[in-house]
Amino acid sequence: MIIDIHGHYTTAPAELQAYRGRQIAQMNAPTKGTLNISDAQIRESIEQGQLKQQRERGTDLTIFSPQAAGMGHHFGNERISLYWSQTCNEVIYRVCQLFPRNFVGVCQLPQSPGVSPANCVGELERCVREFGFVGCNLNPDPSGGYWSDPPLTDPWWYPLYEKMVELDVPAMIHVSASCNPNFHGTGAHYINGDTTAFMQLLSADLFKEFPTLRFIIPHGGGAVPYHWGRYRGLAQDMGVPPLSEHLLKNVFFDTCVYHQAGINLLVQVIGAYNVLFASEMIGAVRGVDPETGRNYDDTRPMVEAVPGLSATDKQKIFEDNARRVYPRLATRLHS
């Protein structure tokens, strides 16, 4: 089985954004309201989008979540964020109900700048226990590029981590839209978020406090694999254990890297045990690479072409690591 751990519902019917528009217009008196999207609309959007590409590319299952750029945690207050997150998660649940063999849910959290992450616990528990979701997306910067909240290693985040540990679910560390004009959303803010999160984790002993907590850093870890020597050296200067002991029992990386040399480097530096297959298909980069004739986000052939990668290591990247990092997948895959 080939499990793609990084998929977003970027093809949702236009009515979802219309709902968001009404929410913005009613910002001073927010209500959850209703979303008018039929099962037929969801089915068509998936069959002509993500499911079509699954079949064309030979993948089997996508771990699926709301559109990352659309999370918009910077907008409004915590009540608006809660209603928006609930609505988006309910749509993902419907996708998973309509296509149970192809999609498994991961939830958006109702984060807001300056609001305790404890505010997210209820929605995480609802999505895991009632919807069968297997994880969450955690935004390390709800302000949208201004980093106004404490780092991920601060006790500020502990109520959420405690619930993640209780439920045995990981979080993909994934920023949302950029409000800072200095940072292009997907070209800079995403990569900044990945790299900054890794450095935050390196700088503290979070996993001594939470030894079973698990994070996935997407987009190949941002700048991390390319600068692995820098991070090893910084860890050494800080007097923390080697990264293989300090972080790599709890931190994992996906393969949303859109050229062969980058995939090669990721696997060579990080190692197959900590890399999970992903494509983020129909995501930030949708075009065809003229050098290969394939879509940039068609990452399966790149993983298969990594020099010297054994069949055992390919099995880890394509399936086994996902089952280990997302243990609730076992229930979904056998239901």
User: How far apart, in Å, are the Cα atoms of 297 and each of 55, 60, 241, 260, 277?
Assistant: 15, 16, 35, 11, 12
Alpha-carbon span 209 to 17, nearest angstrom: 40
One-character DSSP codes across 149-189: SPPTTSGGGHHHHHHHHHHT--EEE-------TTS-IIIII
In sequence order, the 6+-apart residues with CB closer than 8 A to the CB of 138 are 109, 152, 160, 171, 172, 173, 174, 215
Tell me which residue of 193, 248, 250 sits closest to 219, measured CA to CA: 193
- Do 260 and 268 meet the contact criterion of CB atoms below 8 Å apart? no
Residue 280 annotated among the catalytic residues of the structure: yes
Q: Which of 162, 280, 304, 319 is labelled catalytic?
A: 280
Q: Which two tokens stand for residue 82?
A: 């809660």
In terms of Cα–Cα distance, which of 147, 125, 150 is closest to 135? 125
**Across-strand partners of 138?**
173
**Residues annotated as part of the active site:** 280
